[in-house]
Amino acid sequence: MRSPPWFDKDEQHEPQTKAGLHPLEVMIKAKVAAMLEKKKLLGDGQADQGKFVLKTAKGTRDYGPKSMAVRESVLKIVTDAFKRHGAETIDTPVFELRDVLMGKYGEEGGKLVYDLQDQGGELLSLRYDLTVPFARYLAMNKISNIKRYHIAKVYRRDQPVMTRGRYREFYQCDFDIAGQYDLMIPEAECLKIVDEVLSKLEIGEFYVKLNHRYILEGMFAACGAGSDQFKTVCSSIDKLDKQPWNEVEEELIKEKGLSKDNTEKLGRFVRLREFNPSMGNVELLDKLMEFEELARNERFKKGIEELKVLVNYCTLFGVRSIRFDPSLARGLDYYTGAIYEAVVPNILFSRIPEALEGVNLEANGEEQKGLPVGVGSVAAGGRYDELVGNFIGPTGPKGKEKRQDVPCVGVSFGIERLFAIMEAKMQIEQMQVRTTETQVFIASAQKNLLQERMKLCGQLWDEGFKVEMAYKANPKLLTQLQYCEDRLIPLVLIVGERELQEGVVKLRNVKTREEQDVPLTELVSTIRSVLALI
DSSP collapsed to 3 states, 253-291: HHCCCCCHHHHHHHHHHHCHHHHCCCCCHHHHHHHHHCC
Contacts of 169 (CB under 8 A, 6+ apart): 59, 60, 153, 154, 155
Residue among 187 and 325 whose Cβ is closer to its own copies? 187
How far apart CA 365 and CA 61 sit, in angstroms, is 11
The least CB distance from residue 497 to its own copies, in Å, is: 18
CA 81 to chain centroid, in Å, comes to 14
Residue among 172 and 438 whose Cβ is closer to its own copies? 438
The least CB distance from residue 269 to its own copies, in Å, is: 31
How many CB atoms are closer than 10 A to CB 284? Answer: 20
Whether residue 527 contacts residue 460, with contact meaning beta carbons closer than 8 Å, is answered with yes
3-state DSSP assignment of residue 471: coil
The least CB distance from residue 331 to its own copies, in Å, is: 23
Residue among 245 and 391 whose Cβ is closer to its own copies? 391
The least CB distance from residue 514 to its own copies, in Å, is: 23
The least CB distance from residue 483 to its own copies, in Å, is: 10
How far apart CA 1 and CA 490 sit, in angstroms, is 18
Report which residue type is found at 456. Answer: L
Please state the residue numbers annotated as binding site. Answer: 129-131, 156, 172, 176, 330, 334-335
Residue among 318 and 370 whose Cβ is closer to its own copies? 318
Strand partners, 383: 409
Whether residue 414 contacts residue 379, with contact meaning beta carbons closer than 8 Å, is answered with yes
Contacts of 341 (CB under 8 A, 6+ apart): 208, 209, 328, 330, 377, 379, 380
The least CB distance from residue 86 to its own copies, in Å, is: 4
Residue among 2 and 254 whose Cβ is closer to its own copies? 2
Residue among 15 and 179 whose Cβ is closer to its own copies? 179
- Apex CA 254: angle with CA 253 and CA 259, to 5°? 30
The least CB distance from residue 467 to its own copies, in Å, is: 7
For every residue of 319-358, DSSP letters joined together read ---EEE-TT-----TT--SEEEEEE---HHHHHHHHHHTT
Residue among 36 and 355 whose Cβ is closer to its own copies? 36
How far apart CA 488 and CA 437 sit, in angstroms, is 9
Residue 206's Cβ-side half-sphere holds a number of Cα atoms within 13 Å equal to 25
